[in-house]
Structure 1
């Protein structure tokens, strides 16, 4: 049966582990950095939309129907996907390995 006292002790021991603290810092740093990059990109795009819309309306090439704004918007979406993939890869490799090591140490 699950003992709440033992569970609380295990949680305290894991939180006190320097490896867990390093893991938490690294995950937070990566998550906040990628979030800031994505939000910064979106806000920059919105600033261009607000203050220089003519630049986005310009044709991609002379006589073409496609404006500059379409590939720029698509690039922002692709960038978001790539950064999400980077985070998932980091979480599934480096962070999961660190978590497994921490759990293994806590059970010993």
Structure 2
């Protein structure tokens, strides 16, 4: 792939749309994870009594365990959400942009 093709791809409206959507998605999922993680850390720092309290009377599991595990599960779920959206939406935009660039290059005899 030469510089003209790279420039054509970077200037393609569908490629720009894909980059914008990908960026928005990435920042949204990052913000969700950051909010949850910082919230958990604030809970650890300022409300240890709650995290040390038992889930059920007479039980041994404290609230810290399921909350900590749920953060780990959430990170996997957010990765799955990103992968699903990227595979079903963003990849399609990339393919469309590549086809358009290849068609233009073919028409101009650059390919």
TM-score normalised by L of structure 2? 0.89
Distance apart, 1:35 and its partner CA: 0.8
> Looking at both structures, which has the greater relative contact order when contacts are Cα pairs under 8 Å and sequence separation is at least 6?
2
Query: Take 2:23 and 2:48, find their aligned partners in 1: how far apart are those partners?
Result: 35
Query: Take 2:77 and 2:11, find their aligned partners in 1: how far apart are those partners?
Result: 34
**What are the Cα deviations for residues 44-83 of structure 1, in whole angstroms up to 9, with x where unaligned?**
1001000111110000011110001111111111111111
Distance apart, 1:18 and its partner CA: 1.2
Distance apart, 1:11 and its partner CA: 1.2
Structure 2 residue 81 is the aligned partner of structure 1 residue 86: yes
Q: How many pairs are equivalent?
A: 103
Query: Take 1:28 and 1:91, find their aligned partners in 2: how far apart are those partners?
Result: 11
Distance apart, 1:16 and its partner CA: 1.1
Query: Take 1:91 and 1:107, find their aligned partners in 2: how far apart are those partners?
Result: 22
**What residue in structure 1 maps to residue 14 of structure 2?**
19
- The runs of 5 or more residues in structure 1 that have no matched partner are none
RMSD: 1.0
Structure 2 residue 45 is the aligned partner of structure 1 residue 47: no
Query: Take 1:103 and 1:21, find their aligned partners in 2: how far apart are those partners?
Result: 12
- The runs of 5 or more residues in structure 2 that have no matched partner are 104-111
Distance apart, 1:20 and its partner CA: 1.0
Structure 1 ranges of 4+ moved more than 3 A:
none
